[in-house]
Amino acid sequence: MRLKDKTNGLLNFSDYKKPRFHILYAVIIFLLILVVLTALLPVFWLIVSSFKSVQEINSTTFSFFPDVFDINKIWQVWQKENFGKYFFNSIIVTSGAVVCAVIFNGLMAYVISIVKPKGYKVMYVMIMISYMIPAITGMIPLFKWLSDINMTDNYLPLMLIFGANAFYFINFKNYFDMIPRSLFEAAKIDGCSDLKIFTHVVLPLSRPIVGVVAIFAMTGAWSDFLLPYLLLNDSDLYTIMVEIYQVQNTLGNGFTYDEFLMLLVISIIPQIIVFFIFQKQITSSASNAGIKE
Amino acid sequence: MINLAYLENETEREKTASKYPVIKKHKTLFSSKNFSGWLLLLPGLILFGFFVWGPMVMNVIYSFFDGYSLKNFIGFDNYMYIFNDSMFQAALQNTFYYIFWSLLIGFFAPIIIGLLLSEVVLGKSFFRMIIYLPCIISGIAVAFLFKSLYDPEPYAIFNVILKSLGLPTSLFADDPSLAIPLIVVAMTWRGAGGTVLIYLSAIQTIDPSQYEAVRLDGGGLIRRIQYVTWPVLKPTISTLLIMQVISVFQVFYEPMIIGNSNIHSISMMLLSYNYAFSDGKPQLGAAVSVILSLIIIVFTGIYFAVTAYFKRRHDYAA
């Protein structure tokens, strides 16, 4: 599309017949390039700095780029404290969290949106209330309960907590509300149970929203820090974010600052890869969902 | 053989049954619809109860007792204690500074970026993608990233830039008066992309013929925004305003990592955590959480009251 064909928006083709609007368009693009640079430069700076040596970072003469770009450094830092272990732990927790997020929130949204048993509205209101009050405020009693039932050093609560997320629930419910009711009546008449309708009718019809919640849960679980930090005492069980935090706390004790920055880069790479693969689904759902996590 | 014949009859019976279904009316509480419905709700009920609702209720209970054991009921003593604690007073005050700075720095930028983005003809999806990118990076990693950017050493990146502009060097987040604004910059850097996309999708619902109507009346850019864009965006803006205020109450990693948990930038959420897990006084942490929840409930209530008021006025006008 070109400016002289633009028919929508604040400015359209008839405005762009005048040269001064071309200047305005150039200003718009210029400002957006500034925004893009603001979004990218900190990440870029982090990557560049992680390749520097400590001496370079602490040198009184500043240089943006490192003296040598040694790509092997990624591998060396990775091996130094067996980072693969924490990566693997994070992958386990994240996969479990994604499964819980989809199954439990999806099932709840299905019952409240479609089955509607007597009294379902009470549940709905309670979920909406918990959406307003951040779940992080309940961390103290939750930690107490989980310690009481010996759930520390266990991945189960870290996964299951993603099954009780009002944001994912709302995503599912908004989507299920749009599915034509006649489909369920047909399945019901064919003798399907409520559970079977969920697994055989609703889920196959809802692949887009399942994908969206799965992606949200994936980035959410990968980034999760507070609960894993409180619950995991055994350093063999640390997830990647907990390990990063511990490395930062004991800086100079094994790891140097540049190596810490390198670990930080490594920890965000999976999220960035997932984002670039699914960027279309992520950006379109983020705008439809209406509200951020 | 007999069994097989029976089975055949069974399937036969099922077939006729599905052809002529008996539609039951679900009037009783124990009808099959209600029963199977609640049975399916049960896992979610347990999870929400354990991870969300239960802890909320327990917070209120703990805040009236001494320690985790529920033997010593001490009334409002915990609340009295925190209200007299200078750390809590600072955190409460900081919360309002956070709201102020986050509205100043983070509220208008996404609206403007959304408007600019909606006007792009070529490469819109590229811009959209890059602007959203910071949102997917984990909060704690972003906090570490900005902590290293805000390095106060004279040879660190921002001080080098300041020096080259002939300005004095700065301590950045170590400077008490700069800590909160700089933390808000980090929060905005991570959060703005998501907000931009929400505004963008609201802007894209605008019917182009409305702009055309203003244009035919000789309306310039300002008038088009005033009469078309603004009325469409108003509900989204007010929703996101309250969402932003609520999200500011949750700020946690940034003051912990960038602000080193110190008094100039400590947030209520972080203070609650520190009381419980650093000072070993969970009852105080619970009391802070309760106060925080109450503040959020009041803000949400005000928001709903105001929107209901405007909606009524709008309905009368229409």
The CATH number given to whatever domain includes residue A165 is: 1.10.3720.10
Q: Are A115 and B50 within 8 A, CB to CB?
A: no
Residues A174 and A239 in one domain: yes
User: Can you tell me the distance from the alpha carbon of B300 to that of B252, in angstroms, rounded to the nearest whole number?
Assistant: 21
Residues A18 and A135 in one domain: no
Domain housing A178: 75-289
Domain presence at residue A56: no
Domain presence at residue A133: yes
SS3 content of chain B, % helix, strand, coil (to 5): 75, 0, 25
Name which of B15, B20, B33, B136 to mutate to probe chain A: the one with the most chain A Cβ atoms within 10 A of its Cβ. Answer: B136
CB proximity under 8 Å: A 231-290 to B: 241, 244-245, 248, 261, 264, 267-268, 271-272, 274-275, 279-280, 282-283, 286-288, 290
Domain presence at residue A31: yes
Q: Is the pLDDT of residue A290 over 60?
A: no
User: Can you tell me the distance from the alpha carbon of A238 to that of A124, in angstroms, rounded to the nearest whole number?
Assistant: 35
Q: Are A286 and B135 within 8 A, CB to CB?
A: yes
pLDDT value at residue B272: 94
- The band of A287, judged by pLDDT with boundaries at 50, 70 and 90, is low
Domain presence at residue A19: yes
Q: Are A10 and B118 within 8 A, CB to CB?
A: yes
For the CA atoms of A213, A214, A219, A224, what is the dihedral angle to 10 degrees? 90
Residues A36 and A126 in one domain: no
Chain A residue with minimum CA distance to B149: A42
> Per the structure block, which two tokens stand in for B151?
């390095």
Residues A42 and A169 in one domain: no
CB proximity under 8 Å: A 129-158 to B: 130, 132-145, 157
- Write the pLDDT tens digit of every residue in A151-208: 889 999 999 999 999 989 998 998 898 888 888 888 888 888 888 889 888 888 888 8
pLDDT value at residue B31: 67
Residues A143 and A38 in one domain: no
CA atoms within 13 Å, Cβ hemisphere of A7: 3
Q: Among partner residues A49, A161, A283, which is closest to B51 by beta-carbon distance?
A: A161
- H or E segment at B126? helix B124-132
A170 interfacial to chain B (CB closer than 8 Å): no
**CB count, 10 Å around CB of A249?**
8
Q: Are A140 and B155 within 8 A, CB to CB?
A: no
Domain count, chain A: 2
Name which of B69, B78, B125, B140 to mutate to probe chain A: the one with the most chain A Cβ atoms within 10 A of its Cβ. Answer: B140
User: Can you tell me the distance from the alpha carbon of A237 to that of A90, in angstroms, rounded to the nearest whole number?
Assistant: 9
- 3-state SS class at A158: helix
Residues A239 and A132 in one domain: yes
Q: Are B149 and A42 within 8 A, CB to CB?
A: yes
Percent of chain B with pLDDT over 70: 90
Predicted TM-score (pTM) of this structure: 0.85
What CATH number is given for B77-317 in this structure?
A: 1.10.3720.10
User: Can you tell me the distance from the alpha carbon of A165 to that of A260, in angstroms, rounded to the nearest whole number?
Assistant: 32
Residues A146 and A243 in one domain: yes
Domain presence at residue A60: no
Q: Is A79 exposed, middle or buried (0-12, 13-18, 19+ CB in 10 A)?
A: exposed
Average pLDDT on A100-127 reads: 91
Residues A8 and A95 in one domain: no
Q: Are B130 and A2 within 8 A, CB to CB?
A: no
Q: Among partner residues B18, B189, B243, which is closest to A42 by beta-carbon distance?
A: B189
User: Can you tell me the distance from the alpha carbon of B214 to that of B222, in angstroms, rounded to the nearest whole number?
Assistant: 11
Residues A128 and A32 in one domain: no
Domain presence at residue A66: no
Q: Are A137 and B29 within 8 A, CB to CB?
A: no
Residues of chain A neighbouring B63 (CB-CB closer than 8 A)? none
User: Can you tell me the distance from the alpha carbon of A135 to that of A131, in angstroms, rounded to the nearest whole number?
Assistant: 8
Residues of chain A neighbouring B17 (CB-CB closer than 8 A)? 191
Residues A176 and A215 in one domain: yes
pLDDT value at residue B53: 93
Q: Are B115 and A10 within 8 A, CB to CB?
A: yes
Q: Among partner residues A141, A225, A244, which is closest to B62 by beta-carbon distance?
A: A141
pLDDT tens for chain B, 318 residues: list them. 333 333 344 444 444 444 444 444 444 555 677 888 889 999 999 999 999 999 999 999 999 998 888 888 888 999 999 999 999 999 999 999 999 999 999 999 999 999 999 888 888 889 989 999 998 899 999 999 999 899 888 778 888 888 888 888 788 888 888 999 999 999 999 989 888 988 988 888 888 888 888 888 887 888 888 888 898 888 888 888 888 888 888 899 999 999 888 899 999 999 999 999 999 999 999 999 999 999 988 888 888 888 888 778 777 765
- 3-state SS class at B73: strand
pLDDT value at residue B215: 84
What ipTM does this complex have?
0.87
Average pLDDT on A217-229 reads: 92
Residue A289, CA distances (Å) to A213, A216, B241, B290 in order: 10, 11, 16, 29
Residues A25 and A83 in one domain: no
Residues A146 and A195 in one domain: yes
Domain presence at residue A241: yes
Domain presence at residue A61: no
Residues of chain A neighbouring B26 (CB-CB closer than 8 A)? 118
B190 interfacial to chain A (CB closer than 8 Å): no
